[in-house]
Chain A
C-alpha cells in the first residue's frame, strides 16, 4: 500500500498559550443545571436536533446572476509553463498521463481565495471562499477535442478561523480525467501553492478508437472542493462552479447549420442553476453545524449565489442546467403553473430521448438538464420554480410538502425568436456488453458504532477496497442496510449504467449514463461500470457531504 503523502504540508499550528486546567478553574464549579454557553439567537429544540433561524429576507428581489464564460489565458502568462511533470513551485503529483497524447491547447488560471459576497440585499455581506473569489465559481466552457490545463492557485487565508480548512483539492465531477487531475480527496494542497490540472476533454473509449466514443459525451459538469474530511464545509462556503462541455452534437449553438447538431437552446437561453441551501447569522456570516453528522440543512434556498432570486425570461424555450450542490438536501422541482418540463439530460449526460415530467427530483450532486418553454405564458406572467419535497433532517426526504416552497421566480417579460429545437432523439446510448464484465462487487452501505460504513469499514486513506484491471468492466451492487438514511453515492471516473433498482428496471430518468446513484433505505442498485483509458486511484463516496466527511468513502484503483 502506498503511504498517504502530504502535499506541501503546512506546519501544524500550536496554540501559543499553555492551557492546562488550573486548580482555580477546576474549583470554579458550575452551579448550573441545564446551562448552555451563550448561543445568541440559536433556538435549541433538543441537543441534537436544532433549528437555526436565519434573518428574514424578502423573496424575489435579487436578480439571478448568470456568468459569461471564464476567459482562458495565454500560455505565456503561466510562468513557469505547465508541463507533464510538476514544475517549480507546483505541489507534488504524478506525471500527467495524457499530456503527450492530448497536449493542452487552452489554459486557465483559477485563483482560490476568500472574499465578501452578497447573498441578499437584506443581509450584510458574507465571507465566502470562491474560485476566482466568486460564488458560484466561474463557468468554464470547454469543447471535446480541446484539451485544457487549469492552474489552480490556493490563496485561501492560512490562518483561517471558522468551518473549513484552507487546503484544497479541485474535483471536476465527473470528467473522464486521469487520476492525477481528478481532484482525489487525498490530493489536497496548501495555501500559497498551486497545482496544474489536465483535462483531456476526450470521450471515454480511447482504448478502442482515437478520440473515444461520442456516445460517452458529458455536458453539464461541476467542479468543487474535495479535501478529505473537510469537503462539506469547504463546498458550503462557496467552492463550487460549473464546467460545461460541448461537442458537434451538443454544440452550444441553436442555429448550428451542421447536420446532426441538436440545436438545443443556447447562449443566453442556456442557463446553469446551482441550488444550495444555507443558513446565515445576523452578521451575514454563513452558519454551518459541523457536529450534525446526518447532514446539514439550511433554511435559505440559494440559486447561483442569491437567496430566492427572480429571473426575467422571454417567451421561448430555455435550457436550465440544474445542479443540486448539497450539502444534504434533496430537491423535487415543479412549476407553480402545473405545466410540464422536459428533461433532456441527467447527471450532465444527454438522454437518448427527452422525457416530459411534472416534477423532477434532484439528489445531492445530481444534475438535470431541463427545458422549460415560456411561450406558454403571457408577457407579465410569473411562474415559480417550487420545491415540493419535504425534508426535516439530513437523513433524506420524507414525502411531498403540503405547501410547496418557492425557490425562484421566472418573470415573463418579452418576446424573442426561438430557433432552438428539442429533437425526439438526443444522444444515443452506448451498448451495455455484459461479456466485458470480469468482476462483480457488492458494497453494503451500513451503519456501525454511530457512523456509516461501506462493507463494515470506515474510510482509511491507505486502504484500497477494489483493485481493478484497466479497460475491463465490472458490476457493482450498492445495497443500503444503514436504516433510515438515503445515500446519494458518487462513483468517480466513468459514467455507469443502472442495470436494476431493487430487481426491477431502472426508473425513466435513470436509463442513461449516471455518476450519482441514490440508494434509499433498504434499496439495492446494480451498476455497470467500465474503467477505460487511464490508471490510478479514484474514490466512491456518499455525496451527502456530512456522510462523506464522516468516512463514508472507499478508495479504488485502476491498475495497468
Chain B
C-alpha cells in the first residue's frame, strides 16, 4: 500500500522556489489501477518520480509498504525500489549493447539472483510478452512495440508490487499501444498495482481510478 500525507516538493527556479507538489494526500491500495493526467508542467511526472523513490520530498511523509521513506538515505531508497517498484518509461530505456534477454535480466543481475533462477524467470517472461523468438535480439533489431514489451518484462522480473508507467504508449502506434495497455491491464488483474502517467485521455480513462494534476494540486474523480 502507498500512503502520501501532505507531500510538498519545491524546485529552484529563476524567480525563487517553484512549488511543484502542493500538499498531496493520496492512498493507493494494493491492486489499484490509477491514472494520473494533467497538462505539461502540472507536476504529474514529479509525483511519479517521488512515488518511485527517484526523487525526494521536501515535507510530508510517503509510506511505501508500511515503510516511511522521508528519512531514508539513497542506498535504502535504491533497495526499496529494487524490491517493490517496476518502471516503464516512454522511451523504453533499454541498454543498446544488451540483448532483450539480458535487458530483462538486468534487475536480477543487480540483485545477485542465481543464474539458473534468473534464466528460468526471464524465459517465462519472454513467453508472457510474446518475445521468445526475439530473446537474443538487441534493441536496434526490435520494433517500438517489442521494445516496450521488453521494458515491461524487465519491470516485472523482480515481481514488484507496483508498476509506475510514464507515458507507456507515447512512442507507439495505436495498435502497439493497445497491445501494451492490454498487457499492463493483465498484470494489474493479477494483483500488481498500476500507476500510469499519461497525456492520452483515452488511456487515462481506462484506469479504475483517475487523478488529475493541475498546477501541483491533485484532484480525484
Indicate whether A and B interact.
no
Chain A positions near chain B (C-beta within 8 angstroms) = none
